[in-house]
C-alpha cells in the first residue's frame, strides 16, 4: 500500500455531467438573457444525467470502496453562479459528493485545472478541450453514446496510444510517409521510449490509485487499444516499462475496428485522438475525443 498517495482529481463541465441540450437550445435560439431566465425558473427541477455521469458516479464510488477520499470530481462550468445553481441542485438530487466548482461566466474553464490539481477535464465544448490540451493538460470531448451503461462497480478505462498516452512523434511519420516508413522507424527506435502524450499524467495517477488495492481486488482496469501491430508493439511495451506504468490489458489490433474489442473488454470510457475512431467507438461505449497531434492539425 502507498503511504500518502495523491488524490485523483477529474474535472467535468456541467454539460458533460448533465443533459443540458434543451438549455443549450434556448441559449442558441434566444440568447443569454433568455437562457439565464430559463435556468433560474427551473433551478428546482433536477437535470437528467449526461454522458459523463456514469463515469463520474463510478469514480466517486471508489472512495466508498477505499474508505477514504482519494478521488475528487470538480465542476468547471462556463455558467455564472446564478445560472449554475440548477447544476448544483441537480448534483445534490443525484447524491453526488461534488462540492468544489468554478463558474467562469463564459471565460475559459481550463485556467482552474492546475489550482484544483486536476488530472483530466471532460467537456462537451471542443474549444475548451483544445485550450486545455494546448496548455499541457489532459482533456477530452465526451461524445453522445447510445450504450446502456454498466451498473457494476468496476471501472474499465481504455486508451489509444499515439497522440493520447504517447506523443504523436510516430504518428507524424505514419501520416507523412505511410505504414512502411512508420514500421521501419518503430523497429529501429524500439529501445528509445516514446515521449509522453497528454494522457500520460492521468494514466500515472490511475496507476498510483490502483496500487492502493490488494492484488486481485482493484476495481480499476486499464487497457491500451491501439491500431499498432507487431513489430511496432515492442517500442510501446518498452516505453511503458521505462515509465514504470503497468497496463492491465494491451490490444494490438493492426488496424482492425476497435468497437468490438472495447465491447468485449467492457470499457466504461475510451479516449482516442482520431474523430472517426471516436465516432465508431461511441456506438458501444462512452468516448472522449482527444483533439491532439497531427491528425487534428487541420
pLDDT digits (tens, 9 = 90+) for 57-95: 999 999 988 888 999 999 999 999 998 999 999 999 999
Dig out the grid coordinates for 153 from the structure: 462497480
Q: What percent of the chain has pLDDT over 90?
A: 81
Q: Return the ∠ at Cα 244 (arms to 241 and 250), rounded to 5°.
A: 55
**Maximum pairwise Cα distance, the chain:** 63
Count other Cβ atoms within 10 Å, centred on residue 291.
Answer: 21
Average pLDDT, the chain: 92
Q: Return the active site residues.
A: 160
Dig out the grid coordinates for 273 from the structure: 485522438
Q: Cα(first)–Cα(last) distance of the chain, in Å? A: 45
How much is the pTM?
0.92
Identify any residues that bridge with 271 across adjacent strands, giving them in sequence order: 159, 288
Residue 231 preceded by cis peptide, ω within 30: yes
How far is it, in rounded angstroms, from Cα 283 to Cα 214?
34
Using N-to-C axis directions, what is the helix angle for 169-177 and 179-188, rounded to 10°?
Answer: 140
pLDDT digits (tens, 9 = 90+) for 242-265: 999 989 999 999 989 999 999 999
| Amino acid 213: pLDDT | 86
pLDDT digits (tens, 9 = 90+) for 27-45: 899 998 999 999 999 999 9
How far is it, in rounded angstroms, from Cα 210 to Cα 236?
21
| Amino acid 3: pLDDT | 45
Chain-centroid distance, C-alpha 282: 13
How far is it, in rounded angstroms, from Cα 57 to Cα 73?
9
Least confident of 127-131, 168-172, 287-291: 168-172
Chain-centroid distance, C-alpha 292: 13
How far is it, in rounded angstroms, from Cα 85 to Cα 103?
10
- Mean predicted confidence (pLDDT) in 149-159: 82
Dig out the grid coordinates for 65 from the structure: 470502496
- Domains of the chain: residue spans and CATH: 8-141 (3.40.50), 155-296 (3.40.50.1000)
How far is it, in rounded angstroms, from Cα 287 to Cα 143?
6
- Mean predicted confidence (pLDDT) in 104-124: 96
- Between the alpha carbon of residue 132 and those of residues 104, 129, 135, 292, the distances in Å are 15, 5, 5, 10
How far is it, in rounded angstroms, from Cα 210 to Cα 287?
22
pLDDT digits (tens, 9 = 90+) for 125-145: 999 999 999 999 999 999 987
Of 145, 139, 114, which Cα lies nearest the Cα of 127? 139
| Amino acid 255: pLDDT | 87
Q: How sure is the predictor about 161, in pLDDT bands with cuts at 50, 70 and 90?
A: very high
How far is it, in rounded angstroms, from Cα 101 to Cα 73?
9
| Amino acid 2: pLDDT | 42
Q: Which residues contact 142 (CB under 8 A, 6 or more apart)?
A: 16, 50, 51, 52, 122, 123, 124, 286, 287, 288
Q: What does the DSSP 8-state code read for residue 196?
A: B
Answer whether residue 173 shows pLDDT above 80: yes
pLDDT digits (tens, 9 = 90+) for 202-248: 999 999 999 888 878 899 999 999 999 999 999 999 999 999 998 99
| Amino acid 112: pLDDT | 97
Give 246's Cβ-side CA count (13 Å radius): 7
Amino acid at each position: 500500500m502507498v503511504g500518502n498517495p495523491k488524490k485523483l482529481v477529474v474535472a467535468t463541465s456541467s454539460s458533460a455531467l448533465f443533459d443540458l441540450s434543451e438549455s443549450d437550445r434556448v441559449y442558441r435560439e434566444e440568447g443569454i438573457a433568455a437562457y439565464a431566465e430559463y435556468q433560474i425558473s427551473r433551478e428546482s427541477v433536477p437535470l437528467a444525467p449526461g454522458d459523463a455521469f456514469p463515469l463520474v458516479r463510478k469514480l466517486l464510488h471508489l472512495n466508498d470502496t477505499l474508505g477514504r477520499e482519494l478521488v475528487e470530481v470538480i465542476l468547471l462550468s462556463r455558467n455564472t453562479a446564478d445560472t449554475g445553481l440548477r447544476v448544483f441542485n441537480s448534483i445534490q438530487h443525484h447524491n453526488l459528493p461534488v462540492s468544489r466548482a468554478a463558474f467562469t461566466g463564459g471565460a475559459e474553464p481550463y485556467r482552474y485545472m492546475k489550482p484544483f490539481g486536476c488530472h483530466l477535464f471532460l467537456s462537451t465544448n471542443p474549444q475548451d478541450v483544445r485550450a486545455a490540451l494546448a496548455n499541457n493538460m489532459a482533456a477530452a470531448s465526451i461524445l453522445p453514446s447510445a450504450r446502456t451503461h454498466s451498473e457494476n462497480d468496476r471501472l474499465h478505462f481504455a486508451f489509444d496510444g499515439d497522440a493520447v498516452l504517447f506523443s504523436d512523434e510516430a504518428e507524424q511519420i505514419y501520416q507523412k510517409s505511410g505504414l512502411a516508413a512508420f514500421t521501419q522507424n518503430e523497429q529501429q527506435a524500439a529501445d528509445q521510449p516514446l515521449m509522453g502524450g497528454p494522457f500520460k499524467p492521468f494514466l500515472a495517477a490511475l496507476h498510483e490509485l490502483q496500487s492502493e488495492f490488494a492484488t486481485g481486488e482493484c476495481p480499476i482496469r486499464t487497457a491500451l487499444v491501439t491500431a499498432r501491430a507487431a513489430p511496432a508493439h515492442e517500442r510501446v511495451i518498452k516505453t511503458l516499462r521505462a515509465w514504470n506504468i503497468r497496463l492491465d490489458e494491451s490490444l494490438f489490433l493492426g488496424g482492425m475496428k476497435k468497437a468490438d474489442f472495447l465491447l468485449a473488454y467492457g470499457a466504461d470510457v475510451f479516449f482516442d485522438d482520431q474523430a472517426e475512431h471516436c465516432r465508431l467507438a461511441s456506438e458501444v461505449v462512452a468516448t472522449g475525443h482527444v483533439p491532439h497531434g497531427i491528425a487534428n492539425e487541420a
